Amino acid sequence: MLSAGQPPQPPATSVTAASAISSKAHLSSMQQNGASVTTELAPEKPGGPIQHIWVVTGPAGCGKSTVGQAIRKELDLPFLEGDDYHPKANKDKMSNGIPLTDADRWDWLISLRQAAIDALSPAERNDFHPPAGVVVACSALKKKYRDVMRVAAYGSPLVQIHFVYLKLTEAALMQRVTRRQAHYMKSDMVQSQLAALEEPRDEWDAITIDVQKSVLDAVAAKLAEYQ
């Protein structure tokens, strides 16, 4: 049973972003736009293999879904789009340019966290063979929001959570969001998200990737540093 408590500490066996991302094979290469990243299998712990929750974070327009889908495809993992778990009231507020409050986000984060836990559990949908991990696209703008997601790993030494923060300038974010069609998150919401943003500095389970140019190239290059 998962419950709140003291935040989990770094695992005794260090699992880097590159080694953990390849939980389905001993060697795996991410090839996007000609870039290649070779990674190693994360070690098993007594009781079974480690399962990984990859949370791709950042404000609207940074490329969370693009990167999350790339990881999903490479590792053949389930993917959860955080936007899908917002209640209608939240979507209506954002569509009308009204920033979400902490209170608006709690139930959303808890629902998304539970969905990630469910995705790692044996069930009929995975033929009772749970996957090696799950990829989640979630803005997780503040540390306390990331702490809500971290609860997913409480009480289970076989679950590890990793945050991949995609960093982008305000101008680039505005440009990308403006190009979106039929999405409730409008460009005028970018500034409110940046105002709320707490970049994950000194958080042991997070890495920061500058995606100012090509999102997938930047991710592949950053993960290559962890070989």
Q: What is the CATH number of the domain that holds 156?
A: 3.40.50.300
In a domain, 9, yes or no: no
Q: Tell me the per-residue pLDDT of 10-60, one tens digit each, with 9 for 90 and over.
A: 443 333 334 433 333 222 333 333 333 333 334 455 567 899 999 999 998
**Any idea which residue has 């629902």 for tokens?**
111
- Spatial contact of 89 and 200, defined as CB atoms under 8 Å apart: no
Cα–Cα dist 169/153, whole Å: 31
pLDDT band at 178 (very low <50, low <70, confident <90, very high): confident
What is the mean predicted confidence (pLDDT) over 59-86? 91
pTM listed for this prediction:
0.76
Cα distance from N-terminal residue to C-terminal residue, the chain:
34
Specify the number of domains making up the chain. Answer: 1
Cα–Cα dist 169/194, whole Å: 10
- Spatial contact of 165 and 146, defined as CB atoms under 8 Å apart: no
In a domain, 1, yes or no: no
